[in-house]
A and B are shown apart, each in its own frame.
Chain A
Amino acid sequence: MPQLKYYQALTRAIKEEMTRDESVILLGEDVGASGGIFAQTRGLYKAFGSERVRDTPIAENGFMAAAVGAAMTGLRPIVEIGFEDFLTACMDPLVNQAAKLRYMLGGQVSIPLVVYAFGGGGVNAGPQHSQSLAAWFAHVPGLKVVMPATPADVLGLMKSSIRDNNPVLCLLNKKLIGSSGEVPADEYLIPLGKADIRRSGKDVTVVAFGQMVQSALKAAEQLNGDGIEIEVIDARSVSPLDMPTIRQSVEKTGYLAVVHEAHGPFGMGAEIIASVAETSLAYLKASPRRITPPFAPSPFTPVLEQMYLPSPERIATTIREMLENRA
């Protein structure tokens, strides 16, 4: 299988879908001739022209609303929001318009819109350029949210998102932009709402999101030396969330930890643990744990940010704590 970088998988997904369907357009700041702030749209402007690959002014609220209006009237827009933090500048078109128009209009329209954004920390970008906001959007009926963690998942999930008839947020991770991985050479689609068991294990279920998948896999290596086998589930999709896969794993292991770089309170970990408690409490042999940053903005300071994000060591330590009283 060919190797692609994370950002190149994004470019390929967009290019394939724009070739396949001429109603797909791309909007965003610097997506055109400049090829994008991370080179993620390089070549698209040349391939499809300025009409379909459209540079916008710095007006997230305006061009997101425009994308929603275009999605109501025959186009399938892809919108780039360079930094996930800037999604907060277009909450109205996403939450009040895109998510609700189909419902409010009694099913008269669908909103085939994809928004991709680069989020997460680890690159010393500071409080306004490091956030992971998936839970905000997963809370809204009408939206779907995915978080690919590998180049292959970027390709497969982006392509499925573009073909989906609903608004989908594809939340990419900027720490992973330059990471490489094997990607199928042929057409590749991953259904939304399906988690991926990245490593099987019998002792503890660890559900991870985005770049935390890599951290959980590294923790798994460390724990392996102690004879602890963790099962690492890459959630991939936040909404819909693949609870059947998670539940099945927890019912096997009896232990559950969730790791994400979004804040803990009211987050994905809280949701997963609550859902497991509702159906499978009797299977749990210890209190489930959330492994997240502290409840504070992300510091720019390299030494502080390193402590801020859950590390493989912290994940491993938490899991050892969970197993301390194991019979």
Chain B
Amino acid sequence: MTSSNDLPPPETIERLFGAMCEIRTFELVASERYRSGDLPGFIHLSLGQEACAAGACLALQEGDYITSTHRGHGHCLAKGADPRRMMAELFAKAQGYGKGRSGSMHIADVAVGVLGANGIVGQSMGLGIGAALSLQVRRKPNIVVAFFGEGASGAGIAHEAMNMAAIWKLPIIFFCEVNRYAELSPYATHVSLARLSDRASAYGFPGETIDGEDVIAVYAAVIEAARRARAGEGPSLIEAKTFRWHGHYEGDPQVYKTDDEKKNGERFDPIARMKERASSLPGVTTERFIEIEARAEAGIRAAADWAAGLQSPSAATMTEDVYAEGDDAAA
């Protein structure tokens, strides 16, 4: 438990709480709209994992990058992507970040540092070290957070990326959201260690396991890892223990979950936990939290309503952006 001396200022706590509420509503609305047939394709939701995205992204600065996963709505929102354009992408509308051609798994807003959700498990780490390499070569004071899950931790790219990041002392945080399941199988199918963060010692950089349902703990861990990365001390691995409320994809019958998890999964609720703590946090009130929650919900629902009414992309859009025109502008 974080001591009150280590607590971020009240306005930061409110922002963390607000970010979680936006993600929660975004995912609930996406789930509703998917079930009602408004969203094509398939979507992967991060309900229950809001503290990871909010805590990690709010610890970052302007100019920092994130790389995300197929379960990336929360990361994108928390890093500053516009929920209206995100929803437009989910609804396959021309105003979406991918012009409505890419869907839930490929949302990016490069201007705010979101290099993209990604449909290939593990490549958030490969692309992430590339962005970190670019920051290092260009002598920028910024860092990268590469999100991934315990499933991706078993992919070869995880080892390759961590090894290179360590050799080159890249400014990157490998942020593993351990949500108990990878696709349709539990943690033990994918990982032999009780603590995935133990792997960091094999690369010679710090690894830490934290409570991924405690947004303040997540925030504090990322602030520290980011300080290290900015100081040129290289990468860190953060393992955040959390829980995925819904299935791998919406509609997943989740036959692999225990009865207890199926019935009582929502007891792992980082938002409810923060509300319970509100009275013990200096400068924060329950009333204020309720206000923030209501505002977040209204904003996201309005974004979805706006997106639902937009036009589909034109036929011409289908072949746009396959190639970039022209050459570089170097003198």
Contact = CB atoms under 8 A, between A and B. Distances in A.
Interface of A: 20-21, 23, 25, 51-52, 54, 56-57, 59, 61-76, 92-93, 96-97, 101-112, 141-142, 144, 160, 163-166
Contact of A107 (B109, B133, B320, B326): B320
Contact of A69 (B120, B130, B331): B130
A61 B126 contact: yes
A107 B99 CA distance: 9
Given A57-B160, A57-B163, A105-B98, A70 B325 contact: no
17 contacts: A59-B163, A62-B156, A65-B125, A65-B126, A69-B132, A69-B133, A71-B130, A73-B134, A76-B328, A93-B123, A97-B118, A102-B321, A105-B102, A108-B110, A144-B323, A160-B327, A164-B328
B134 A112 contact: no
A32 B109 CA distance: 35
A111 B133 CA distance: 15
Nearest to A50: B168
Interface in B135-159: 135-138, 156-157
B115 A73 contact: yes
Contacts of B321: 102-103, 106-107
B128 A72 contact: no
B164 A104 contact: no
Of residues A64, A68, A105, which shows the largest number of chain B Cβ atoms within 10 Å of its Cβ?
A105
Interface string B104-122: 0010111100011011100
B126 A72 contact: no
B322 A142 contact: yes
Given A76-B328, A106-B97, A61 B110 contact: no
Contacts of B106: 104-105
A65 B157 contact: yes
A168 to B, nearest CB: 11
Contact residues on B (Cβ < 8 Å of other chain), bracket: 35 or more
Task: Please provide the 3 A-B residue pairs with the shortest distance between their CB atoms, ordered closest to farther.
Answer: A69-B130, A65-B126, A62-B160
Given A69-B67, A73-B131, A166-B323, A109 B110 contact: yes
Contact of B130 (A20, A61, A68, A144): A68
Contacts of B131: 69-70, 72-73
A66 B129 contact: yes
Given A68-B127, A69-B130, A92 B135 contact: no
Contacts of A104: 98, 101-102, 106, 108, 116
A63 B164 contact: yes
Given A52-B137, A97-B123, A104-B116, A165 B328 contact: yes
Nearest to B168: A54
Given A59-B160, A105-B97, A106-B96, A69 B128 contact: yes
A75 B128 contact: no
A59 B328 contact: no
Given A25-B137, A92-B120, 16 more contacts: A54-B168, A61-B126, A65-B161, A68-B126, A69-B67, A72-B130, A73-B65, A74-B134, A75-B134, A93-B126, A102-B324, A103-B322, A104-B116, A106-B96, A106-B97, A142-B322
A108 B129 contact: no
A106 B125 CA distance: 22
B197 to A, nearest CB: 20
A49 to B, nearest CB: 10
A63 B156 CA distance: 12
Contacts of B136: 51
B99 to A, nearest CB: 4
Contacts of A141: 322
Contacts of A23: 138, 330
A40 to B, nearest CB: 22
A267 B96 CA distance: 37
B167 interface: yes
A67 B164 CA distance: 12
A177 B120 CA distance: 36
A66 B327 contact: no
Interface in B78-103: 96-99, 101-102
Contact of A72 (B101, B111, B115, B320): B115
Interface-centre pick from B106, B129, B168, B323 (highest chain A CB count, 10 A): B323
Contacts of A101: 116
A70 B133 contact: yes
A163 B327 contact: yes
Nearest to A92: B120
B164 A59 contact: yes
B126 A69 contact: yes
Interface in B57-77: 65, 67
Given A69-B128, A70-B134, A20 B330 contact: yes
A65 B327 contact: no
Nearest to B130: A69
Nearest to B139: A51
Nearest to A56: B164
A45 B161 CA distance: 23
A6 B90 CA distance: 50
A164 B116 CA distance: 23
Contacts of A64: 126
Contact of A106 (B99, B164, B325, B331): B99
B110 A165 contact: no
Chain A CB within 10 Å, residue with most, of B97, B111, B324: B324
B324 A66 contact: no
B115 A69 contact: yes
Contacts of B324: 102, 110-112, 165-166
A165 B326 contact: yes
B110 A105 contact: yes
Contacts of B97: 105-106, 108
B137 A96 contact: no
